[in-house]
Amino acid sequence: MPTLGIDLGGTNARAAVVDEQGRILSSAKLPLAERSPAAVVEVIALAAAEALSEARVEVRGCGVGAAGQIHRDSGVLAVAPNLGWRNVPLGAMLTERLGHPVRVVNDLAAAAWGELNAGAGRGAQDVYVAFVGSGVGSCIIANSQLVRGAGGVAGELGHTKVIPGGRLCGCGERGCLEAYAGGHNLIAQARELLSAGRSPELARLTGGDPATLNPVTLELAAEAGDPAAREIHERAGQMLGMGIANMITVLNPARLILGGGVLMNCPGLRRYVEEGVRALSSTVSREHLSINMAELGDDSGLIGAALLV
């Protein structure tokens, strides 16, 4: 029987009816005009109703992938920075509103589960998924099971420390990988160069307007030979490559799946990661490793949330 998948981001809620093979039968996307928990639950319910009426099938439950840290098994969003939420019992609220059992997981876990079952991870049992978008996240799948950890936050690659006492991260701690290599922080570092007048190439590419900066601009400036841009780009690439290589050494997966907007759109950074994994993971841990790009794009979380039910 099909299930309902919900992808809750910071600006939109998407809902889809998904069959057991991970095919989307119908979908709907609605903007979040207001971010109070009650208003967001209402928008999710409207998107779900739209998807359900288009598919005209019964569903047996609902899975939600939400950006944030989720208390294991409780469906409570402990911290959701995009929505400005703390300790919101989203699972219970949605169960009551939708009249279906609802399971809430982290958006990256949902995306990884989607890729495992309907995308680049099909056929593998031990998979490591690393996504670099605005943040840096990863998910461990061992023996076809999501590894969640005692508190439900296993796999937080972005908050592994790379420089003790280093740059301040969005999580409130210092020296995290994400503070150097996440999309938001790549842009922040490029802005610092621009405002200090240290990067003629970035100034040229942006026409001096910091609002046009993105990770691709930084990569273009680095590849054009701008020394300051290159330093930031190379450092981010090397840190990502080493961080992911170390995870391969520890976990010995059969497949590494790379995704997220930054790795999808910045081939230079992707190359650092692939070369880093080949050069720095232990020889025995990568003997059976294949490296694949994520296949489901923006739909991975939606499909994965539905398949987790």
Whole-number Å distance between alpha carbons of 93 and 115 = 28
Residue partners of 292: CB distance under 8 A and separation at least 6 = 120, 121, 255, 256, 257, 258
Closer residue to Zn ion in complex, CB, 80/124: 80
**Contact at 8 Å (CB) between 302 and 7?**
yes
- In the complex, what is the shortest distance from the CB of residue 57 to Zn ion, in angstroms, rounded to a whole number? 42
- In the complex, what is the shortest distance from the CB of residue 184 to Zn ion, in angstroms, rounded to a whole number? 11
Cα dist. 81→88, 231, 263 in Å?
Answer: 12, 29, 22
Tokens for 171, please give them.
Answer: 């999580």
136 lies in the site for Zn ion, by CB under 5 A:
no
- In the complex, what is the shortest distance from the CB of residue 171 to Zn ion, in angstroms, rounded to a whole number? 3
Closer residue to Zn ion in complex, CB, 79/171: 171
- In the complex, what is the shortest distance from the CB of residue 163 to Zn ion, in angstroms, rounded to a whole number? 12
Closer residue to Zn ion in complex, CB, 2/260: 260
Tokens for 22, please give them.
Answer: 């991970």
Closer residue to Zn ion in complex, CB, 20/173: 173
- In the complex, what is the shortest distance from the CB of residue 178 to Zn ion, in angstroms, rounded to a whole number? 5
Binding residue count for Zn ion, defined by CB under 5 A: 5
- In the complex, what is the shortest distance from the CB of residue 158 to Zn ion, in angstroms, rounded to a whole number? 6
Which 288-307 positions form the footprint of Zn ion (CB under 5 A)?
Answer: none
According to CB under 5 A, which one of 104, 176, 193, 273 is a site residue for Zn ion?
A: 176
**Contact at 8 Å (CB) between 306 and 16?**
yes
Closer residue to Zn ion in complex, CB, 159/286: 159
- In the complex, what is the shortest distance from the CB of residue 173 to Zn ion, in angstroms, rounded to a whole number? 5
Query: H-helix or E-strand containing 85?
Result: strand 85-88
Whole-number Å distance between alpha carbons of 293 and 25 = 24
Closer residue to Zn ion in complex, CB, 81/200: 81
3-state secondary structure of 166: coil
- In the complex, what is the shortest distance from the CB of residue 181 to Zn ion, in angstroms, rounded to a whole number? 11
Closer residue to Zn ion in complex, CB, 63/137: 137
Closer residue to Zn ion in complex, CB, 171/224: 171
Residue partners of 129: CB distance under 8 A and separation at least 6 = 108, 111, 112, 115, 116, 121, 138, 139, 140, 141, 256, 257, 259, 294
Q: Which of 90, 99, 94, 84 is nearest to 70 (CA)?
A: 90
Q: Which of 167, 280, 264, 170 is nearest to 215 (CA)?
A: 264
Residue partners of 53: CB distance under 8 A and separation at least 6 = none
Per-position x/- string for 143-172, each x denoting binding to Zn ion as judged by CB under 5 A, each - no binding: ----------------x---------x-x-
The contact set with Zn ion (CB under 5 A) reads 159, 169, 171, 173, 176
